[in-house]
Structure 1
Amino acid sequence: MLVLVGLVLCLAPADALTTFPPKFQVGNLNGNMVVKCNTSERQVTWTQNGETEPMVELVAKERTLTILGLDLPATGNYSCWAGTVLLDATYVVVSSTRKEKMNISCQAESYHGSFHCSWAGPPSAVFRARLTRSNGSLGEWVPAAGSSGHFSASFMDPSFCPFAEELHPLQLELEGLSDTSYHNFSYQFFIRDIVRPDPPQNLTVQQRGEQLHLAWAPPASWSLPKSYFALLYRLQYELPNGTQVDKYVEGTEETQLRECARRARISCQDPFTNPAWSPWSAWQGLGAARQCRLRAR
């Protein structure tokens, strides 16, 4: 019976993580690890994942605990106690031995210095992220939101100047802990390369004689002044026969259509860099479609 109980405890995983632990240590598989209890108490007792007698090779000496031959069953939460009083806790994990590629995507809506990043990771993991700036300073750790292996976090670089040339990239550092393993990744980028504006807004249409007059406004989130942060607009309209036509407009927020159109939508991009086009605005029905059909007859 004792053998069976020991086997169950050895195979039992660490408690599932829901937030990044305040204190953790990363060790090499099959190596030794020393865990210290941050306390002035000289005599303490230790638990692993709540078990007072962990079935792993441990050597306890006052405030120090040595884990011999760190393996996956030896990972988890190690707590030190004075009687029933919790003194300190350290989450122990094994360094990931696989060279994993992390698909990280970052996007900014404008040149305000704020952006959003997303990535995929182990479903059981928790992640946090921070920025390393060009002067070497480190940002605060930001906890990542995530579910089903998809994670995301939002950032703000207060030192970013939208009117100055970016000479050095930002570096995003990610740290992840699963029940047993540690993961870390980094990603470098310029904000100018990740800008994707929001859709233009307030697309309107008016019939002016034989022409359709279309007007719109830049995205509310776009940087100002408009004279400096110009936008290239891509207007797409649909003819009565269903054919879609693109028209590009720069330096203005209005245009004329000489031909009949049933509906239109609009997108935009920064013409001075090479970022992605914004998402399309919703289709705007054009009230002149009926007159177009009548003239076509």
Structure 2
Amino acid sequence: MLALVGLVLCLAPAHALTAFPPKFQVGKLNGDVVVRCDTSEPRVSWTQNGEPEPMAELVAEGRTLTILGLDLPAAGNYSCWAGPVLLDTTYVVVSGTGEGGINVSCQAESYRGPFRCSWAGPRSAVFRARLMRSDGSLGGWVPAAGRRGRFSASFSDPSFCPFAEELRPLQLQLEGLSDTSYLNFSVHFFVRDIVRPDPPQELTVRRRGEQLHLAWAPPASWPLPKSYFALLYRLQYELPNGTQVDKYVEGAEETRLQERARRVRISCRDPYASPAWSPWSPWQEADAAQIRQLRAR
């Protein structure tokens, strides 16, 4: 999990959002906020959340609207009109600073560059995120997908080189807006710290006398060449009495078990960094391997 910095919590309007608004302003509680209508029309009329009589104390002057003493009822969509024609809309929220933290989890399948981040937030929130890449360039905003208070977004750093040492971390900037809060925060991390490979594939179990011969292949998503992007494999096998035993293999994709095992599974990770182990592969039944061999005779 990644640490969160720069959290800003806000008290926000009761007008629900379905997408991140193109324009929004954050004002201080009980402070004045000036909203500007992006138009060449000299005189406009205003609505708040579609209502022609806003719940706020307002001062309209030309193309500007001043909200006096911004509070929760005064938050929401402010739209300017020329008769029946909608000219511009600005979403206004009430800000309030607070200290705290949110956990953002980022994960990459390999060192190819793409990764995915997820975090928790208000169910009614909408989020967007952008990446400051390793070369210092800033990517565009990416809308986050959300479901039941869990949000996620996928990113790719085209400047990332898997063969080079990472000298500076990536920075992920996120913004969130809902009917109860405004969030603005960022996380910093290295790709090498978030890599979690897919499970090894093609695990085969063959019984040869009293021994089991195991063979497998690296994850399809893992980069090549194998000599440079090595993997440490963790084999776990279960004895007839239910005891589970681990065996580690590096630099090879096959091994033998001297003990009699009922079933076997395998996981992997980068041996030279500190990322998590991959998920386990499905269990392979050792007795089933022997049955298949007998049927083949």
> Is 2:85 aligned against 1:91?
no
Is the 1:172–1:188 Cα contact (8 Å) retained in structure 2?
yes
Q: Hey, what does 2:34 align to over in structure 1?
A: 34
Give, in angstroms, the shift of residue 135 of structure 1.
3.9
Normalising by the residue count of structure 2, what TM-score does the alignment of the two structures yield? 0.91
Distance in 2 separating the partners of 1:13 and 1:108 = 36
Q: Hey, what does 2:7 align to over in structure 1?
A: none
Is the 1:132–1:138 Cα contact (8 Å) retained in structure 2?
yes
- Closer/same/farther in 2, CA of residues 243 and 181 from structure 1, 3 Å limit: closer
Task: After superposing the two structures, state which structure 1 stretch, 158-167 or 141-150, moved more.
Answer: 141-150
Helix, strand or coil: the match of 1:287? helix
Give, in angstroms, the shift of residue 180 of structure 1.
4.6
CA RMSD, aligned part only? 1.6
Distance in 1 separating the partners of 2:152 and 2:257 = 42
Q: Hey, what does 2:69 align to over in structure 1?
A: 69
| Deviations 1:152-178, CA, capped at 9 Å, x for gaps | 111101110000000000111110111
| Deviations 1:96-140, CA, capped at 9 Å, x for gaps | 322231111111110011101111112221111111124432111
Q: Hey, what does 1:153 align to over in structure 2?
A: 153
One-letter code aligned to 2:191: I
1 or 2 for the larger relative contact order (CA 8 Å, sep ≥6)? 2
Q: Hey, what does 1:188 align to over in structure 2?
A: 188
Is the 2:76–2:93 Cα contact (8 Å) retained in structure 1?
yes
Task: After superposing the two structures, state which structure 1 stretch, 131-140 or 167-176, moved more.
Answer: 131-140
Q: Hey, what does 1:4 align to over in structure 2?
A: none
> Is 2:41 aligned against 1:46?
no
Distance in 2 separating the partners of 1:124 and 1:72 = 17
Taking only the aligned residue pairs, the percentage that are identical comes to 79
Q: Hey, what does 2:282 align to over in structure 1?
A: 282
Is the 1:114–1:156 Cα contact (8 Å) retained in structure 2?
yes
Runs of 4+ in 1 over 3 A off after TM superposition: 288-291
Pairs aligned (count) = 280
- Closer/same/farther in 2, CA of residues 47 and 232 from structure 1, 3 Å limit: same
Helix, strand or coil: the match of 1:52? coil
Structure 1 alignment gaps of length 5 or more: 1-11, 292-297
Helix, strand or coil: the match of 1:131? strand
> Is 2:250 aligned against 1:250?
yes
Is the 1:202–1:216 Cα contact (8 Å) retained in structure 2?
yes
Is the 1:269–1:278 Cα contact (8 Å) retained in structure 2?
yes
Give, in angstroms, the shift of residue 287 of structure 1.
2.5
Helix, strand or coil: the match of 1:192? helix
Q: Hey, what does 1:123 align to over in structure 2?
A: 123
One-letter code aligned to 2:148: S
Helix, strand or coil: the match of 1:230? coil
Q: Hey, what does 1:139 align to over in structure 2?
A: 139
Is the 1:240–1:289 Cα contact (8 Å) retained in structure 2?
no
Q: Hey, what does 2:58 align to over in structure 1?
A: 58
Task: After superposing the two structures, state which structure 1 stretch, 115-124 or 161-170, moved more.
Answer: 115-124
- Closer/same/farther in 2, CA of residues 78 and 180 from structure 1, 3 Å limit: farther
Structure 2 alignment gaps of length 5 or more: 1-11, 292-297
Q: Hey, what does 1:234 align to over in structure 2?
A: 234
Is the 2:207–2:290 Cα contact (8 Å) retained in structure 1?
no
Is the 1:264–1:284 Cα contact (8 Å) retained in structure 2?
yes
Give, in angstroms, the shift of residue 258 of structure 1.
1.3
Q: Hey, what does 1:225 align to over in structure 2?
A: 225
Is the 1:104–1:119 Cα contact (8 Å) retained in structure 2?
yes
Distance in 2 separating the partners of 1:147 and 1:96 = 26
- Closer/same/farther in 2, CA of residues 215 and 281 from structure 1, 3 Å limit: same
| Deviations 1:51-84, CA, capped at 9 Å, x for gaps | 0011211111111011111111111111111111
Normalising by the residue count of structure 1, what TM-score does the alignment of the two structures yield? 0.91
- Closer/same/farther in 2, CA of residues 58 and 84 from structure 1, 3 Å limit: same
User: What pairs up with 1:15-26 in 2 under 5 angstroms?
Assistant: 15-26=15-26
